[in-house]
């Protein structure tokens, strides 16, 4: 990642650190790393972060740090890349695929496949997930290629300019065409995995819109305002309309689909370099579409 910024009159007299934080939106942690490795230049000369800049000065930042890949082993696993540039890569994840290696799933994950993709490009990178999906949730998952991009996108999630939309099929007919579920979510005290609604939990807000009424089911679009673990699944259970096929939160058997009918359909965010909004979409996969068709009959 490379930045070049010509100081304007309004920033004359400001420090290098001020420009890095306010104009280039570089985090304190990354600034410290840049400073330590002498990667900040003004008019082609190394500078300190406390140095004062004048109008017309050219500030350059070289944030392309060499990285170690870590312990994620490259594996030849098919993945569907739907967007990629020098900063990030977006994948269309199949259901049934774990995102990152764990004790129970040390290999065969999205991260293993992505690491091989990086190696085939001749680069060594860390796997930096910006968003995560449950094993049996399909759709868009985003990875940053560097620390700056990861922090830039993470800040957008916190200030709610990063938009995440999902589609799902839930049991029953939702009474309202649109609405908001505002219920705090906490980890269940008797489980490492399961979540539940609790006044002691973290704030969780999910907006929804009915797309289509089906045979005793509803096709729904969700937009997340917060990003709690299992948020949509827990909220749907809480309002009495669990997601079809959800083995953890539904309690209702179905032969329509063998996983939760939940798909990450769209993400939208401000690009870290161009500062333009990027929108990425993913159509529902075959098993989801089949369930829709059956419920339309």
- Nearest Cα to Cα of residue 163 among 134, 131, 186: 131
Low-confidence stretches of the chain (pLDDT < 70) are 66, 69
Residues forming the active site: 134
> What is the CATH code of the structural domain delimited by 81-159?
3.30.2350.10
pLDDT of residue 69: 66
Single pTM value for the model: 0.88
- Residues 258 and 244: their CA atoms lie apart, in Å, by 9
Residue 166 and residue 222 in contact, taking contact as beta carbons nearer than 8 Å: yes
How does pLDDT run across 154-212, given as a tens digit for each residue? 999 988 899 999 999 999 999 999 999 999 999 999 998 899 999 999 999 999 999 99
CATH fold match for the domains 2-62 and 81-159: no
Report the distance separating Cα 169 and Cα 261, nearest Å: 6
Q: What's 2-62's CATH class? A: alpha beta
163-267+276-296 CATH, one of 3.90.1200.10, 3.30.2350.10, 3.40.50.12780, 3.40.50.2020? 3.30.2350.10
271, 278 Cβ separation under 8 angstroms: yes
Cα(182)–Cα(178) distance, rounded to whole angstroms?
13
């Amino acid at each position: 990642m490379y930045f070049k910024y010509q100081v304007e009159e309004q920033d004359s007299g400001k420090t290098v650190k001020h420009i890095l934080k306010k104009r280039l939106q570089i985090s304190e942690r990354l600034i410290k790393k840049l400073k330590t490795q002498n990667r900040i230049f003004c008019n082609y000369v190394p500078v300190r972060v406390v140095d004062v800049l004048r109008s017309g000065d050219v500030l350059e930042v070289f944030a392309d740090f060499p990285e170690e890949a870590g312990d994620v082993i490259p594996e030849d696993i098919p993945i569907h890349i739907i967007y990629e540039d020098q900063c990030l890569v977006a994948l269309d994840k199949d259901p049934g695929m774990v995102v990152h290696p764990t004790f129970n799933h040390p290999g065969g994950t999205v991260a293993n496949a992505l690491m091989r993709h990086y190696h085939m490009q001749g680069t060594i990178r860390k796997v930096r997930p910006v968003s995560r999906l449950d094993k049996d949730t399909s759709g868009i998952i985003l990875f940053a290629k560097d620390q700056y991009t990861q922090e830039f996108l993470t800040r957008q999630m916190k200030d709610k300019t990063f938009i995440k939309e999902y589609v799902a099929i839930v049991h029953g007919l939702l009474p309202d065409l649109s609405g908001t579920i505002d219920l705090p979510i906490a980890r269940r005290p008797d489980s490492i995995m399961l979540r539940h609604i609790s006044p002691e939990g973290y704030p969780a807000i999910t907006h929804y819109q009915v797309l289509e009424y089906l045979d005793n089911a509803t096709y729904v679009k969700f937009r997340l305002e917060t990003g709690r673990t299992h948020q949509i699944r827990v909220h749907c259970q809480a309002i009495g309309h669990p997601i079809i096929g959800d083995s953890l939160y539904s309690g209702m058997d179905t032969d329509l689909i063998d996983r939760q009918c939940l798909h990450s359909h769209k993400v939208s965010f401000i690009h870290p370099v161009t500062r333009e909004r990027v929108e990425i979409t993913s159509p529902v996969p075959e098993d989801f579409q089949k369930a829709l068709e059956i419920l339309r009959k």
